[in-house]
Amino acid sequence: MAIKIGRNDPCWCGSGKKYKVCHEAFDAKIKRYAMVGHQVPNHSMIKTPEQIEGIRAAAKVNVAVLDYVAANIKAGCSTQDIDDWVSSKTAELGGIPAQLNYEGFPKTVCTSINEVICHGIPNKDEILKDGDIINVDCTTIVNGYYADSSRMFMIGDVSPEKRKLVEVTKECVELGLKEVKPWSFLGNMANAVNKHATENGFSVVREIGGHGCGVDFHEDPWVGYYGKPNTQMLLVPGMIFTIEPMVNMGSAKINNNAEDGWRIVTADGKPSAQWEIQVLVTETGNEVISW
């Protein structure tokens, strides 16, 4: 807490109340965690009620866009079709796609099939076929606020091994989510995710993680899926971040030497799955904002 704020000054959270009756005790509590060596959030990681409302509005569009994809995706579609749906649905609902032109990304949505871990670029010549698994990752801006989530889709008749990968990865997110509550730590979430994946014979990608999200696309903290309980960053009410583990059927090793500069694949060519949710830490636990 670097900013010096008078006890009678308005609180940094934007409530309009005096600091001493608003977040003073809260800041003191966080400081006690920092003093015994924990990583703690700064004020920019703690969203105000107004920001949370804005992020919820963006999520409403993001979820509707993914619902539209869910209702239409099938064998024979191209990944460009998915990109077209996301573009038109997002615009229709008053949103702006955050991924288009983000650091030079050329499309609106990421479509990552089978051994593609993430950042697959939609292409009219890439046709979904029976037995494929695909992640569709969508990020929407509404009134300057960001919502980011992704889902897996199983196309037609998927092998039992791939189905298990998709289902276990979803369970990893659900088990991680249970650990998201105030005054817990990101390490508790990370450990729950990693444990469930490895107990099922899978591995979790280490180099790519989740992130704070809402006022900007990728905010601090970085959110990994490896670590011990009661380590990593302290969680406090008002934080919003993504849980988005990439779980591999084989080794956790990645290959990020794609010619297009984006697509990340498994080093061993085996399938990978990912689900992404955006979650708010509340006073009593958590609220899933986008899924």
- Does position 102 bind ligand MF3 by CB under 6 A? yes
102 binds, among Co ion, ligand MF3, none (CB under 5 to 8 A by kind): ligand MF3
Residue 108 interacts with ligand MF3 (CB under 6 A)? no
Residue 211 tokens, joined: 């992130």
Establish if 259 lies at the interface with ligand MF3 (CB under 6 A).
no
- Which of 149, 90, 156 minimizes the C-alpha distance to 275? 149
Query: What is the helix (H) or strand (E) element at residue 187, kind and residue range?
Result: helix 186-199
Say whether residue 157 binds ligand MF3 (CB under 6 A): no
**Angle formed at CA 209 by CA 44 and CA 267, multiple of 5 degrees:** 160
**Contacts of range 84-93, beta carbons closer than 8 Å, 24 or more positions apart:** 86/136, 86/138, 89/64, 89/65, 90/61, 90/65, 90/140, 93/60, 93/61, 93/64, 93/65
Give the C-alpha separation, 140 to 164, whole Å: 29
Residues 118-137 that bind ligand MF3 (CB under 6 A): 119, 137
Distance (Å, whole) CA 74 – CA 96: 25
Subset of residues 11 to 70 that bind ligand MF3, contact rule: CB under 6 A: none
Please tell me the distance from the alpha carbon of residue 241 to that of residue 219, in angstroms, as a whole number.
8
* Three-state secondary-structure class, residue 205: coil
The entry of Co ion, ligand MF3, none that residue 119 binds, CB within 5 to 8 Å by partner kind: ligand MF3
183: partner contacted, choices ligand MF3, Co ion, none (Cβ within 5-8 A by kind)? none
291 lies in the binding site for ligand MF3 (CB under 6 A): no
Do 231 and 261 touch, CB atoms closer than 8 A? no
| 139: contact with ligand MF3 by CB under 6 A | yes
Q: Which is nearer to Co ion, 150 or 184 (CB)?
A: 150
Q: Which is nearer to ligand MF3, 54 or 212 (CB)?
A: 212
Q: Contacting ligand MF3 (CB under 6 A), which of 2, 4, 16, 103? A: 103
291 binds, among Co ion, ligand MF3, none (CB under 5 to 8 A by kind): none
Q: Does 83 bind ligand MF3 (CB under 6 A)?
A: no
- List interacting residues with ligand MF3 (CB under 6 A): 99, 102-103, 105, 110, 119, 137, 139, 148, 244, 276
